[in-house]
Amino acid sequence: MKSWQLPEHVADVLPTNARQLESARERLLALFRVHGYELVQPPLMEYSHSLLTHIDAGLSLKTILVVDQLSGRQLGIRADITPQVARIDAHLLSANQGINRLCYAGSVLHARPDGLLNMREPLQAGAEMYGLEGIEADIELIDLMLKSMKIADMGEVLLSLGHIGVFRALANAAHLDEQQSAILLSSMQDKDAEAVSQLVKEWKLDGMWAKAFSLLPRLYGGREVLTLAREKLPELSAVSAALDELQAVCDAFPNQKVHIDLSELRVDNYHTGLLYAAYGSNRHDAVARGGRYDGLGGYFGRARPAAGFSFDLRSFIGRLPAIGRESVVAVDVKDMPAAQEAVDALREQGQCVVIDYGIGYNGSEEVTGGLKQVDGVWKVIALND
């Protein structure tokens, strides 16, 4: 094997794309900041227990584990920043009993890629809100998620909505045990309506619940799905509350293209309610995903209402505006001792100044001027002068 090869689904980001990503990251954090979201920077690795690998099987499979040579305890390289932000809200920011709006942008590492076209080192960016239980929090975050998509050319954005509360309300009413719920949920996630129907038949569920579960994979489409769900699903208060929340989101974005899918339950184990995702045109997978995860901070000592979204900023590559390199001024290496003060002054002003050693260098074709001494004064002379 060649020594310079990288692991599968891991890649370098070269200057052109790196400039695009950093510019997008700056714009994104500026967007979060003007909406009141404060930046946090959790560590790349923690004790694995703190990363919630013990409560989320999917997250555990993504997390790379190593042994800490200082303590002998098991460390995890983060695969998701959300649990870390929940820890910060519950522990380090516990003095604030009101709302905490927090945001982040940093690398995570996955033991396996999420898909054939996905990278194992996403640049995860997102925003989270803690302390507000109402649907207003979800609406604020969805609005921010949609605004985030405008940083890249995603074309027409589709807002996809679901609600894990519908499935869980039916599972509780039908008295499914934990194992049955997990099996049925997996079939729902696979969109396998036939498997769902077969399972409820094998378990000999009451006809009302069997019919409801079999119907869920077919309840998808536009805003009209909510009317159909109210007509066809059992009258449970928890189901009605979930549908009311979905309706509130639809009402908040009257001009937004919306897709509702009551079997779209691709969630981490910590999600508890409303689910949302944003799809760009000509994209096979969601660009951003989010939802409600009330109580996640309870694992760190403070259970609070919580909601948020995140996405891989690297998925924006190819859809970001080109960021040209700034103008470059060159100074001959022989002139540097005498020109040092002038070079320092230009760099303090934000001007890129490179030392020309006479053998070429990256970006040499972008040099627009040279630093020359004219009548005892160092001046930038345009190359075409």
Give the distance from CA 49 to its chain's centroid.
22
Total Cβ atoms within 10 A of residue 191: 14
How far apart, in Å, are the Cα atoms of 69 and each of 48, 73, 74, 272?
14, 8, 9, 37
CA 385 to CA 71: how far, in whole Å? 64
Q: Is 124 annotated as a binding residue?
A: yes
Q: Is 112 annotated as a binding residue?
A: no
Q: Is 63 annotated as a binding residue?
A: no
E strand intervals along the chain: 38-39, 45-47, 64-67, 74-77, 100-107, 123-130, 158-163, 220-221, 258-261, 274-279, 288-292, 306-312, 328-332, 352-356, 367-374, 377-382
Q: Which residue has the tokens 């009101």?
A: 98
CA 230 to CA 243: how far, in whole Å? 8
Rg (CA), the chain: 26
Give the closest residue to 176 by CA, choosing from 152, 215, 202.
202
Q: Is 16 annotated as a binding residue?
A: no
Instruction: Reduce the DSSP state of residue 182 to 3 states and report it.
Output: helix
Which three-class secondary structure string do you get for 260-323? EECCCCCCCCCCCCEEEEEECCCCCCCCEEEEECCCHHHHHCCCCCEEEEEEEHHHHCCCCCCC
Contacts of 104 (CB under 8 A, 6+ apart): 39, 40, 41, 42, 81, 85, 124, 125, 126
Q: Is 356 annotated as a binding residue?
A: no
Q: Is 41 annotated as a binding residue?
A: no
Q: Please enumerate, by residue number, every residue annotated as part of a binding site for L-histidine.
A: 80-82, 124, 128, 266
Binding-site residue positions: 80-82, 124, 128, 266
